[in-house]
Structure 1
Amino acid sequence: MDLELMKACHFRRKGMSPMACGIKRLLDVAGSLAGMILTSPLFLIICLFIKREDGGPVIFRQERIGYGGKPFTLYKFRSMSVTSEADGIPALCQKNDKRLTRTGRFLREHHLDELPQFWNVFKGEMSFVGPRPERKFFAERIKSINPDYELLYQLRPGLFSPATLYNGYTDTMEKMLERLRMDLEYLRNRSLWLDFKIIFLTVSSIISGKKF
């Protein structure tokens, strides 16, 4: 058995049971459906503010790499100007990024730009908890430094993640590698109890206004 297969088997043995995975998926479907219904008035308000600011599209679509290493379309409320990355070169969002609109900056600070990902969770492309999905450009850069990144493809990407909670937005390669370390730790120790804990702590942090 080669080294990569041995690593993958090690992570699977320590992961959730098939029953726990089924319960997790059931909770993802119920939770995302409830989330879309309960936040629908907020969706409308956010759409109006984004449209009023510059008249551009409300929803931002971007290809990310997800479960099984397959690409999917991730949805967000647009937080940047329509001309961001006009040169076609992928760039990470930085602190005080000038590409952010006024509405977009508020949405980013309070993580409200992520709300449309309820739809990704409902469709099964994402889960409530898991590693944050990355663009292929950055995924390849991370893998060139640490090939263990591919182990994360065993999981659905998450709306919430311990790495985002404790490491914040990743705007440098150093933060990306630290996020990978934390994601691999989640992969080893994942459980329904850990998922509930991450959701509770993340939602509590957002409600309290904590910036991360």
Structure 2
Amino acid sequence: MIQLAVKRGLDILFAFLALLVLSGVLLVISVAIKVDSKGPVFFKQERLGKNGTVFQIYKFRTMVEDAESKGRGIFQNENDDRITKTGKLLRVTSLDELPQLFNILRGEMSFIGPRPPLTYYPYTIDGYSGEQKIRFQFLPGITGYAQIMGRNSLNWEEKIHYDIDYVENYSLGLDLKIFILTIYKIVQREHVHHPENSDTQLNQVNKKA
């Protein structure tokens, strides 16, 4: 598909340019993270990518070290005491996602596409239905259709629905629309945190972890 080839070419071009232009910003953020709290600058986590392959996603660390083994596990809320001072700023501005530019250059991600889920949540790769696996036909994105439609205020079934809709109706024009609306959502600071989840769901996820 010609549009997908163009999409990949644009990903490489803009990821390279972004890293070049933002190199100073990346350095400042790295220093701020190290000064603010103990632990590594980058947060790495295994995610499911295109065709269900596993890869390591990169983010700037926004929480205390080993945060996933404490408190609410993979879930967070606005007043989560595991989030560092620098992390709060990075999250509301989405600057914590910048290291994923390296994932794009490595061919593991795109600027726009379905967000890559954890390897064990909401399902393992074998737990997705045949229809749901359609979302894995594309490279995962830093942002996507589900992000502009509700981001963390949506449950996973709703997110998957939007992911499937994106893949089945893909166009470069849709990518442009998602990019513009993503900027708007960031400025408005909408749906940054995960919604509250029931104790039952939380326990199930922590057991899987």
* TM-score interval, smaller chain: 0.7 to 0.9
Identity %: 35
Where does the alignment leave 5 or more consecutive residues of structure 2 unmatched?
192-209
Q: Is contact 1:75–1:120 with CA below 8 Å preserved after alignment?
A: yes
Q: TM-score, structure 2 length as denominator?
A: 0.83
Aligned length: 191
- How far residue 27 of structure 1 moved from its aligned partner, in angstroms, is 0.3
Aligned partner of 2:199 in structure 1 is none
Aligned partner of 1:210 in structure 2 is 189
| AA partner of residue 70 (structure 1) | T
Aligned partner of 2:25 in structure 1 is 42
Q: Is contact 1:127–1:159 with CA below 8 Å preserved after alignment?
A: yes
- How far residue 135 of structure 1 moved from its aligned partner, in angstroms, is 0.7
- How far residue 98 of structure 1 moved from its aligned partner, in angstroms, is 2.3
Q: 1:130 aligns with which of 108, 113, 116?
A: 113
RMSD: 2.2
| AA partner of residue 165 (structure 2) | E
Q: CA deviation digits over 1:61-92, x for unaligned, max 9?
A: 101000110000100000110031236x9522
Q: TM-score, structure 1 length as denominator?
A: 0.82
Q: 2:164 aligns with which of 149, 172, 184?
A: 184
Where does the alignment leave 5 or more consecutive residues of structure 1 unmatched?
1-17
Q: Is contact 2:112–2:144 with CA below 8 Å preserved after alignment?
A: yes
**Which structure has the highest helix share of the two?**
1
Q: Is contact 2:114–2:144 with CA below 8 Å preserved after alignment?
A: yes
Q: Is contact 2:52–2:125 with CA below 8 Å preserved after alignment?
A: no
Mapped partners of 1:67, 1:146: distance in 2: 16
Structure 2 matches for 1:105-124, cutoff 5 A?
105-124=88-107
Q: CA deviation digits over 1:84-133, x for unaligned, max 9?
A: 1236x952233332221111111111111000001111111001110000
